[in-house]
Amino acid sequence: MTQAFSSIRINPDRMLDAFNQLASIGATADSGVDRPTFSEAHLAARKWFREHIESSGLEFRTDGAGNHSAFLPCDDPNAPTLILGSHLDSVPNGGRFDGALGVMAALEALKTVRENRIKLKVQLEAMDFTDEEGTLVGLLGSAAVAGHLLPENLEKPRGGREKLLDGMARAGLTDASMLSAARKKESLAGYLELHIEQGKRLERAGTNIGIVTAIVGIWSYRLSFIGKADHAGSTTMEDRRDASLGASAFTLMAREMVMRDFPNCVVNVGKMDFAPGAFNIVPAQVDVSLEFRSPDEAEFIRLDQALLKLAGEQAARFGLELRTEFLGKHSPSLMDESVRAAFADSCDALGLTHMPLPSGAGHDGQSLADLCPVGMIFVPSVDGASHSPREFTKWEDCVNGANVLLQAALRLGNG
């Protein structure tokens, strides 16, 4: 790497200005943002991103999956593209940093390369991937780019088909356009992402940068515990087949089992839907929204079997029927060694401490990991808060992360 490149830094004030403009779109009263995929606020954020790219002199690009990007070509039109990116959608009532920081840092990196007239051997692209968070499908835009998206993923999305159709219509997309967004393997030089950690490990260790070793996989199910609707006053406790009991026992015991037998994994019951859902009716059905994560494929298979067995046992214990609906999975992904080394070298050159970390959260990089070299870095999350308005990262940490992202892109794009 040339000496000239190693002294290049992003413009912290310019990045902060863009970050704050974006954070104001869909802002909630408690300093968070509410921008689920293709909500009004999300569409407004997408429009702002497009206009911001165009007004800053970069080329705006989009594809059939609704991914938006800024493009900075190199001299060789046949050179592959190094994508930097993240996502502008949020979970409901989420935070300002998750996704948004990565997109703003990627955009700032392109602005910095452009204003410094740096000649790289790759095209650079700063990308906002569609529906990372899973309001509709999850990792949707990146799966489409990777060519992993299948018609059946769109037929049975975890947010429901109706919601997906509504959302795609609002964004001018269709099933067919989604499936057309795949890129050729040879067109990609790699994918780099800066993200907040969403955990407490960097903060506890007092370390500047986490270099991701692997992204955990995610499997999700809808488990329906089915009993019998009965009068909640006149039916004796013994005579009830109360669906809430199976759902409650499963929720408690799944947590205990994962903590005891699967220490590298996590499980979440994010929602229960009660039917008919009245004070004075014994619940006939409770639908449990279940998700679990593992960094290892073999462990996933064991955990899946153990959770379904537990659900069946708890249904039987309370005289209930169990129905299981598999809603989809993302496999665990290892990060590329050469990209990890580029991040580590960049940290060292910038005088920043770093440590290897697995990612407990899913990220778009996992879609792309078998297509091109993929790497991620984390910056510290204050108190580990995430998917919450309490989400916060100190601005100097955001700037550190953006400089590491830029430096790693320069190293990889110059090689």
Q: Provide the minimum distance between the beta carbon of 244 and a second copy in the complex, in angstroms, as a whole number.
A: 5
Q: Is 367 in the site for a second copy (CB under 8 A)?
A: no
Interface pick for a second copy out of 134, 332, 375, 413 (rule CB under 8 A): 134
Assess contact for 76 and 121: CB atoms under 8 A. yes
Part of the chain binding a second copy (CB under 8 A), chosen from 40-48, 122-130, 252-260, 335-343: 252-260
Of residues 346, 340, 412, the one with CA closest to residue 9: 346
Q: Provide the minimum distance between the beta carbon of 56 and a second copy in the complex, in angstroms, as a whole number.
A: 31
Q: Is 213 in the site for a second copy (CB under 8 A)?
A: no
Instruction: Name every residue whose Cβ is closer than 8 Å to that of residue 220 and which is 6 or more positions away in sequence.
Output: 158, 289, 290, 291, 292, 326, 327, 328, 329
3-class SS of residue 389 = coil
Interface pick for a second copy out of 224, 248, 285, 366 (rule CB under 8 A): 248
Part of the chain binding a second copy (CB under 8 A), chosen from 12-20, 42-50, 238-246, 299-307: 238-246
CA dihedral 141, 87, 290, 149 (to 10 degrees): 10
Part of the chain binding a second copy (CB under 8 A), chosen from 46-54, 57-65, 160-168, 243-251: 243-251
Q: What is the DSSP letter of 86?
A: E
Q: Is 239 exposed, middle or buried (0-12, 13-18, 19+ CB in 10 A)?
A: exposed
User: Smaller CB distance to a second copy: residue 240 or 411?
Assistant: 240
Length of the chain (residues): 415
Of residues 215, 39, 49, 35, the one with CA closest to residue 142: 215
Q: Is 360 in the site for a second copy (CB under 8 A)?
A: yes
Q: Is 158 in the site for a second copy (CB under 8 A)?
A: yes
Interface pick for a second copy out of 266, 310, 334, 350 (rule CB under 8 A): 266
Q: How far is CA 35 from the centre of its chain?
A: 14
Kindly write out the interface string for residues 371-390 of this chain, putting x where it contacts a second copy by CB under 8 A and - elsewhere.
Answer: -------------xxxxx-x
- Determine the Cα–Cα distance for residues 173 and 142; give it in Å rounded to an integer: 15
Q: What angle do CA 106, 109, 113 make, to 5 degrees?
A: 145
Q: Is 91 in the site for a second copy (CB under 8 A)?
A: yes
Interface pick for a second copy out of 4, 150, 169, 278 (rule CB under 8 A): 278
Q: Provide the minimum distance between the beta carbon of 138 and a second copy in the complex, in angstroms, as a whole number.
A: 8
Q: Is 358 exposed, middle or buried (0-12, 13-18, 19+ CB in 10 A)?
A: middle
Binding site for a second copy (CB under 8 A): 91-93, 98, 133-134, 158, 197-200, 216, 218, 220, 228-239, 242, 244-245, 247-249, 251-252, 255, 258-259, 266-272, 274, 276-284, 289-291, 293, 359-362, 384-388, 390
